[in-house]
A and B are shown apart, each in its own frame.
Chain A
Amino acid sequence: MRAMTALIKREYFEHRGAFLYAPSILLAVVAVIVLFAILTGDDTLDLPATEIPSSGILYQIAIGGSFLLWSAYLLIVLYFYYADSFSADRRNNALLFWKSMPQSDLKVLAAKALAGVTVFLWLIVLFALLTAVFVYAAMLLISAQHSIIGAPGLADAVWSLVQMGVVGAVYLFLNLLWYAPLFAWVAGLSVLFRRWSIPLSLLIPGTVVMLEYLNSIRGSGHGRPIADYLSRRFDGATDEEDAVAILIGRADGGPIELLWLILRDMDWPQMAIGLIFAAVVVYLASEYRRRRIDA
């Protein structure tokens, strides 16, 4: 366990630029722009009070939005991370150093795979929470300027943040597991093709889907099962319509109901199939790496 933790820490050291420094800069830049806009913007607001949700719902939407945006950031950056990390030791000429350590190639690659759902996930959850805290501060500032927009009390805001934080973290975690086969696919390709893995990860399924399409318009009668399947997987882990309704206050319920909806609507058999596919890819990649000694 100690070695696995250290191997995951190594991933953090190698990729902290994408998961710590870049989000920090992004958040700082957005914060400065928003504060500038609040402090120097027009102080008249012509909104009918009926169009503005209650401050509690508004803050809930803000936290949810923060998690959704950071979720998109995490998924995109992880895609690039997996496209690089499985072959990074060869690229930076450190492969033989790591092979001189008493850790198997499978364990090393498993640590890389797990880094996405542990340390990098926690960092992004932290940034989502920091964003939510900043939003609260911004709401306080705006409410001081415009009596029409309120901010929840501190206790309510903290409670909202805790509850929505748990929901957001679970949502992010499940999203990562859902997209694990996609990450494994690009990681597996990177072991073989290094930096070409990104275009190939799109080109290969794209070609298959195109051939399937050509076959279907010739009237083979088989439909397009591959395209349908991939499309379903890209749609995401859950049906988000009901969740959004709760989030924006148009349906009854709070964060607990939201969490229940996310868990209830999850396609668990497909999740399991995806995870098995990812595990097989990581194993095959480790066997390939075991036989590689070139830098």
Chain B
Amino acid sequence: MTSEAQAIASARGLTKRFGRKTVLRGIDFTIPSGRIYGLVGHNGAGKTTTLNALLGLTDCEGQIEVLGIDPFKNRARLMNDVAFVSDVASLPRFLKVRELLDLVADIHPKFDRSRAVSFLEGTDVMPDLKIKTLSKGMIAQLHLAVVMAIDARLLVLDEPTLGLDILYRKRFYKRLIEDYMTEHRTLLITTHQVDEIESLLTDVMFMREGRVILDAPTEDIGHQFAQVIVAKDKTSEAEALMPIYSETRFGQTVMVFENIPPDKLNPLGDVSTPSLSDLFVALMQREGEA
């Protein structure tokens, strides 16, 4: 079986325009099954539009397939196998928790009500509470319980923890990874808080101004990129290797290099793999200068 055949989603030349503004500029990507994909970019980079295209919420030029079907033409069918959390505040506020679970049980054939109830055990989310009376954190817990009780093959989370305090954010991701992820499921997350999910991700895609500027497994990032805290007397040697990014932190010069063999970097100072947030900043700056 080819990797294309195993892909949960793929796009070729995906383009989206809103009037004169081009939001996606012919992007290509393939998301394999069983991975945890992080989609990272500034506001307006095209992340949400990409997700919307994947979820069949918006029509685009180019080709896009999710689970082998055109998402925009078959959104309702697609949602049998795809779950998404677009915004923690998007649950219907007029319902009670129990009513929400009852309705979703009747509307979604792959929703397991008892599983959702078990996810809510030990939380403050009580069945007879109205959703509008829940705190933002409790709504996030409820929404996560609902999507985790859906036997979906792809789960898409668009800024799922926006506005939540750090305790809820940690609990949210812990629950997701421990109770939901299996090798048959794929998770696609966008967030501004890259540091929080860095350890979860198997793949990362950076976007800038409607283009994909990096699409790689996180395990390959260490092979492709290196961060060096440059020794004071090695600065000019390091600069000769054309770092993609350079900054001074607490009096130390930190540089990020791409595709430079370790034997050339090791003599320059302390070499490590850049964190995703450092790499993101480095690549954004490089692209900005390009």
Q: Do A and B come from one complex?
A: yes
Q: Which of B38-46, B85-93, B206-214, B237-245 contacts A (4 or more CB under 8 A)?
A: B85-93
Interface of A is mostly: helix
Query: How distant is the Cα of A2 from the Cα of B107 in the complex, in angstroms?
Result: 7
Interface string of B8-44 (1 = CB under 8 A from A): 0000000000000000000000000000000000000
Q: Is the CB of A100 within 8 A of B79?
A: yes
By beta carbon, the residue of chain B nearest A106 is: B76
Check B79–A102 contact: CB distance below 8 A.
Answer: yes
Cross-chain contact B86 with A100 (CB below 8 angstroms): yes
The A94-122 residues at the B interface (CB cut-off 8 A) are: 94-104, 107
> How far, in whole Å, are A96 and B75 apart by their CA atoms in the complex?
12
CA–CA, A3 and B107, complex, Å: 4
B286 close to A (CB within 8 Å): no
Interface flags for A19-61 (1: CB within 8 Å of B; 0: not) read 0000000000000000000000000000000000000000000
Minimum CB distance partner of A17 in chain B? B94
The verdict on A224 contacting chain B, using a C-beta distance below 8 Å, is no
Chain A residue numbers with a CB within 8 Å of B66 are: none
Q: How far is the CA of A281 from the CA of B193 in the complex (A)?
A: 44
B197: Cβ under 8 A from any A Cβ: no
B109 interfacial by beta-carbon distance below 8 Å: yes
Residues of chain A contacted by B107 (CB below 8 angstroms): 3, 6-7, 101-103
Cα distance A155–B90 in the bound complex, in angstroms: 53
Q: Which of A237-295 contact B (CB under 8 A)?
A: 290-291, 293, 295
Docked-complex contact B87 and A93, CB < 8 angstroms = yes
> Given contacts A13-B94, A101-B108, A293-B58, is CB(A96)–CB(B76) below 8 Å?
no
Closest approach, in angstroms, between the C-beta of A283 and any C-beta of chain B?
15
Verify if B57 is at the interface (C-beta below 8 Å from A).
yes
How many Å from the CB of B101 to the closest CB on chain A? 12
Q: Which residues of A contact B52 (CB under 8 A)?
A: 293
Q: Select from chain B the residue with minimum beta-carbon distance to A101.
A: B107
Question: Cα distance A93–B84 when bound, in Å?
Answer: 15
Whether the Cβ atoms of A94 and B90 lie closer than 8 Å is yes
Assembled-state Cα–Cα distance A293/B139 (Å): 21
Residues of A within 8 A of B75 (CB): 99, 104, 290
- Docked-complex contact A10 and B103, CB < 8 angstroms: yes
With A93-B89, A293-B52 given, is the CB distance from A101 to B94 under 8 Å?
no
Residue among B57, B76, B108 making CB contact with A293, cutoff 8 Å: B57
Q: Does B140 contact A (CB under 8 A)?
A: no
Contact between A13 and B93, CB atoms less than 8 A apart = no
A2, A101, A103, A291 pick with most chain B CB within 10 angstroms: A101
Contact of A13 among B86, B91, B99 (CB under 8 A): B99
User: With a CB–CB cut-off of 8 A, which chain A residues contact B77?
Assistant: 102
**What residues of chain A lie closer than 8 Å to B254, measured between beta carbons?**
none
**Chain B residues in 8 Å Cβ range of A103:** 76, 79, 107
Closest to B99 in A: A13
Residues of A within 8 Å of B55, CB to CB, are 99-100
* Residue B128 is within 8 A (CB to CB) of chain A in the complex: no
CB-based contact B86/A96 at 8 Å: yes
Tell me whether B80 and A102 are in contact (CB under 8 A): yes
Q: Are A291 and B58 in contact (CB under 8 A)?
A: yes
A71 to B235, CA, bound (A): 85
Which of B76, B89, B91 gathers the greatest number of chain A CB atoms within 10 Å?
A: B76
A93-B87, A96-B87, A295-B90 known; A107-B76 Cβ under 8 A: yes
Complex alpha-carbon distance, A5 and B95, angstroms: 16
Interface residues of A (CB under 8 A from B): 2-3, 5-7, 9-10, 13-14, 89, 92-104, 107, 290-291, 293, 295
Chain B residues with a Cβ under 8 A of chain A: 52, 55, 57-59, 75-80, 83-87, 89-95, 99, 102-104, 106-109, 143, 147
